[in-house]
A = this chain, B = another copy of it.
């Protein structure tokens, strides 16, 4: 249960008094504004504010005086053209602000995307809640052998349960001692020091604001199958939000980025030979085994 009744009440209060605005407004996004999408065991992502819509991209690309929308079909064509040819600046003209609750080890991956604005809850200034991430048993997975930075299948239910016991007990004991050290009647240790005793699955939270171009870049990396599951679930939730916010852009993004595959100059040579009817073997393709496999996987995905 990620949200307390008090937090829900605070969120609900935000929604009570809509205002009039002349700004571009997206009803489908207004409908989910402030509402948390719950993730993992205690996490969430929710939209706190946004600027712009599909039309704002067109408007900026044309540097126009008015809303710039002529026909939906023309706007769609332009947005798809901009996406296909990797024009980035018109997409930078939309902005979105999220409130995210996430485990610290996920936050450490996430923050590597520098082209965003962040305000994180400060454990120097405040005390973190007793909340830490424990994976679903099906997510308690073995180290992959083929991929040094990936995971293979789930451990057996018994082993998973034992691992979860270790994680739970260590996180709980560390948090207990965090409280012990902080207790003003006891040690009264400085918060900026006590926090170092917490485990990396402790939840933190932040406000995170990013423009649409950089959000798409984030999603292309983090909604990808190579991303760690625990950050991918956030990216996938944000992909749903994207579809509500800028549906034309979201569709273009899925067609030209998420579902796309880049062929190297060597792969292009192989492809040309194959399309000409030639049977090409890896050994005579000029591609490394790894590249060959990546190409075959992309072509067979269907």
* Partner-B contacts on A (CB < 8 A): 3, 7, 9-11, 13-15, 17-25, 27, 30, 33-34, 48-52, 56, 59-61, 63-67, 77, 81, 84, 89-90, 92-93, 95, 97, 99, 103-105, 107-108, 111-112, 114-115, 117-122, 124-125, 133, 135, 139-144, 148-152, 155, 159, 162-163, 166-167, 170-171, 173-174, 177, 180-182, 184, 187-193, 195-202, 205-207, 209, 211, 228, 254-256, 258-269, 271-272, 274-275, 288, 290-291, 294, 298-302
A11 touches B261 (CB 8 A): no
Residues of chain B with a CB closer than 8 A to A51's CB: 49-51, 95, 97
In this complex, what residue of B is CB-closest to A162?
A: B187
What is the distance, in angstroms, from A41's C-beta to the closest C-beta of chain B?
12
What is the distance, in angstroms, from A66's C-beta to the closest C-beta of chain B?
3
Residues of chain B with a CB closer than 8 A to A260's CB: 262-265, 267-268
Residues of chain B with a CB closer than 8 A to A144's CB: 190
B192 touches A228 (CB 8 A): yes
In this complex, what residue of B is CB-closest to A259?
A: B265
Partner of A177 from B117, B121, B142, B166 at Cβ < 8 Å: B166
B108 touches A108 (CB 8 A): yes
A11-B65, A265-B260 known; A95+B141 contact, CB < 8 A: no
Q: Which 7 A/B pairs are nearest by Cβ-Cβ distance?
A: A259-B265, A10-B66, A151-B190, A19-B25, A92-B117, A196-B201, A10-B65
Partner of A23 from B49, B173, B254 at Cβ < 8 Å: B49
A228 to B23, CA, bound (A): 33
In this complex, what residue of B is CB-closest to A122?
A: B149
What is the distance, in angstroms, from A116's C-beta to the closest C-beta of chain B?
9
Residues of chain B with a CB closer than 8 A to A202's CB: 200
B167 touches A197 (CB 8 A): yes
In this complex, what residue of B is CB-closest to A10?
A: B66
A24 touches B11 (CB 8 A): no
B21 touches A23 (CB 8 A): yes
A89 to B221, CA, bound (A): 14
A199-B197, A275-B274 known; A65+B7 contact, CB < 8 A: yes
In this complex, what residue of B is CB-closest to A126?
A: B148
A152 touches B118 (CB 8 A): no
Q: List 20 A-B contacts (CB under 8 A).
A: A3-B65, A11-B66, A18-B21, A20-B20, A20-B21, A22-B33, A23-B33, A24-B49, A51-B97, A84-B294, A89-B112, A114-B115, A125-B149, A166-B180, A170-B197, A174-B174, A198-B200, A255-B266, A268-B299, A275-B299
